[in-house]
A and B are shown apart, each in its own frame.
Chain A
Amino acid sequence: MAPILEVDGVTKRFGGVAAVNGVTLSLEPGRIHGLIGPNGSGKTTLFNCITGVEQRDEGVIRFRGHRIDDWKPHRIFHLGLGRTFQIIRVFPELTALENLLVVTTTEYDAARERATELLRLVKLERLAGEFAGNLSYGQQKLVEFARVLMTDPELILLDEPAAGVNRTLLAELLDAVQQLRNAGKTILLVEHDMKVVMGLCEMVFVLDHGEKLAEGPPGLIQADERVIEAYFGR
């Protein structure tokens, strides 16, 4: 099948530092992909380039056949590419329900129904009327996760979904991700928790110093000398 997302030779520089340097990767539809690498390896910057939050300096990004590297984030979102953030970015003075409602452009009642359904999915329906800023860290993470699902995106980028989430919640979250995959969605997640990555992902990309170090199924990646070296040193 044709890849849903193609990143081709993408480079992003901040001053003299190339945070992402000539990275090429492609995502197959309907699979869960992992993006790993030590701190500062460029994972979040790559996310930002794909979603239009940052403009890439070089390279081409294609999503569902469209060249999106010059697009604004809101346009990319409506083409079916949703994301969550590493540092939570809910709208604190909007209620949990409103956080979801603002996302869609569908008719109000339908949007409300969908939002309520999603809050039920993440078990927050009783907190629908609470300001998002008053929720716990884990709950805010779930609001963000539910929010990205409002428009039923084809590709979902999750930036460290497991960080700061307790075990019970994490199991539910991972279960939800698995369900999305079974529903035919494509997922790319940045994660530090190796257990999560190895257990969930079908394909893993490794970044180090802004460059792609390796890619392959989790079993091979775990045994790759270069990856071990990047993480633990020689």
Chain B
Amino acid sequence: MRRWFPVVLGVAFVLLALYPLQATGYGIRVMLQLFMWIALAQSWNLISGLTGYVSFGHVAFFGMGAYTAGILIARADWPWLVACLAGGVAAMLFALLIGFPCLRLKGPYFAISMLGLNEVLRVVVSYWESLTGGGNGLSLPTLHASVPIYYAMGATAALVTALTFVIVTSRFGLRLMTIREDEVAAEAMGIDTFRYKLYAFLLSAVGPGIVGGLTARDQGYIEPISVFPLVTTITMIVMALFGGKGTIWGPVLGAVLLFTFQEIVWARYIYLHQLLFGAIIVAVVLLMPRGILGVLQQKYRLPRTI
């Protein structure tokens, strides 16, 4: 397993890099969305999977990035790639601002505060019409750039995953896990838990900020209800849980499997789709709380790197 894993990874990487050469516009769109989900689920994993601080408002960073990039492109004429990176920076600054009060809360209180925060942000964006266009939304100038956006989105997903790899295999990552395992003991063993949580939180906000911007650019139009929906947070959580939270490849696996499942079922049984998705959530939580990769790791005693 340890030997063939990098090979499979390399092949997948090359195939995905070559994919746009022969793909249809629809195909690129689908892959773009898959990359987006990987980046989102993986980012959520950085804070919630590693430190155990479950964020129920992570879509706030996505929306923050979407609006930052959208405004910079539409109003200030920034190049889209720079604007999207600025979206990542804005999301991180926002995380810094809210991290101070929110990360002092524990367990369900942190989860709820993040949920409420997302709603606040959505309302602010809705009413700040002069800047955001309010409920009418914000239109971006037309641009046909699906392929460059495909690569940018893919790179973001890959970088967030690489970042997770670096973190999980370092002492920094182990210290994040001690917060999940036993925060009181972590403090008593000299770990400045608040600082560590804050770092993880900042890192977990960048990816969603960038992909929010890229999504805004790709779709050409954003409105508060399309970039701040609760269901986006829930979907990233379910993907990370399904694949295996706190692992490196779990969120990727969860995103690929659930997204594929969603695409197939969505196309055939439009009404059944939500029901089946709900059933998966219940099944995972009851039968496989560690997720697919968590179960495999435990059963075959695999290292954290797989």
Contacts and interface: CB of A to CB of B under 8 A. Distances in A.
Contact of A101 (B171, B181, B184, B188): B171
Contacts of A151: 190
A120 interface: no
Interface string B175-191: 10110111011111111
A91 B193 CA distance: 14
Given A89-B182, A89-B184, A77 B189 contact: yes
A85 B187 CA distance: 13
A102 B192 contact: no
Given A85-B185, A89-B185, A91-B182, A74 B177 contact: no
A51 B174 contact: no
A82 B193 CA distance: 17
Contacts of B191: 74, 102-103
B187 to A, nearest CB: 4
Interface residues of B, number: 18
Nearest to A130: B301
Contacts of A103: 189-191
A147 B182 CA distance: 14
B188 A51 contact: yes
A151 B191 CA distance: 12
B251 to A, nearest CB: 17
B189 A102 contact: yes
B174 A98 contact: yes
Contacts of B188: 51-53, 73-74, 77, 83, 85, 89
Interface size class of A (residues with CB under 8 A): 20 to 34
Interface string B146-179: 0000000000000000000000000100110110
B178 A91 contact: yes
B299 to A, nearest CB: 13
A85 B185 CA distance: 8
B247 to A, nearest CB: 11
A108 interface: yes
Interface in A71-113: 72-75, 77-78, 82-83, 85, 89-94, 98, 101-103, 105, 108, 111
A100 B188 CA distance: 13
A102 B174 contact: yes
Given A74-B192, A108-B171, A102 B185 contact: no
A154 to B, nearest CB: 14
B189 A94 contact: no
B286 to A, nearest CB: 20
A91 B190 contact: no
Interface of B: 171, 174-175, 177-178, 180-182, 184-193
Given A74-B188, A89-B182, A89-B184, 4 more contacts: A73-B184, A73-B188, A93-B177, A102-B178
